[in-house]
Amino acid sequence: MKSSVIIFPGSNCDRDMDVALTKFGFKNKMVWHNESGLPKSDLIVLPGGFSYGDYLRCGSIASKSRIIKYVVEFANSGGLVLGICNGFQILTETGLLPGVLQQNKYLNFICKNVYIKINDKKNKYFKNIKKGVLELHIAHNEGNYFCSKDELKLIKDNNQIAVKYCDKDGNENDESNPNGALENIAGIFNINKNILGMMPHPERMIDKYLSGDDGSIFFQNLIGNLK
């Protein structure tokens, strides 16, 4: 399986993502944002970070990069596109995913482990995953998911909510919502579920001695589903 990680000026989780993808069997390539075309890939990843210093709005400048045209083409032809954190923000700014990520409700940068509940398993990312609640890491200032009421209805009707913040037993409540996200939304799909954007970082949870192992579950499952 081949993957590509796009690097924008200010990306800082690109190498972690490369390590994670490689560890679980992807042949990964790093692609600079100014390239005119993508290498042949089964998965494109937009990594976390602070592309263009978060100027204007997080992800807004990166969403106009030259490479994005090719990412949109790839996504529209059914290719898998995964956006983590700033990658999620870039996906909403390109319009590939609905809604926006606003500043956290209490104005603080949040850097901690959270639990997320997998809300939908009928997709390539979470199909066959046994664990329903994963412990992953978040580190963001703008992760407060928001969309209009009409959009939210559409998202729910189409089962586009991918993951939700919860406590370790899987209960969704205000206490387990770190940033004020609408309905505890931590990640969403596009309507065809080939595009996934989420705030938590699975690539930071691939070593049980250093961090935790639930990111490993995510990547192992993903590559298994693609084979």
Binding interface with other proteins (CB under 8 A): 56-57, 60, 64, 92-93, 98-100, 102-107, 144, 146-148, 151, 180
- CB nearer to other proteins: pick between 107 and 210: 107
Query: Rounded to 5 degrees, what are φ and ψ at 14?
Result: -65, -40
In whole angstroms, how close is the CB of 105 to other proteins at the nearest point?
6
In whole angstroms, how close is the CB of 107 to other proteins at the nearest point?
5
SS (H, E, C) 14-51: HHHHHHHHHHCCCEEEEEECCCCCCCCCCEEEECCECH
- Whether 85 is catalytic is yes
Out of 85, 137, 166, 172, which one is annotated catalytic? 85
- CB nearer to other proteins: pick between 56 and 191: 56
- CB nearer to other proteins: pick between 85 and 181: 181
SS3 of residue 1 by DSSP: coil
In whole angstroms, how close is the CB of 179 to other proteins at the nearest point?
10
DSSP assignment of 176-202, as one string? G-SS--GGGEEEEE-TTSSEEEESSBG
Is 63 in contact with 90 (CB distance < 8 Å)? yes
- Whether 203 is catalytic is yes
Positions marked active-site: 85, 201, 203
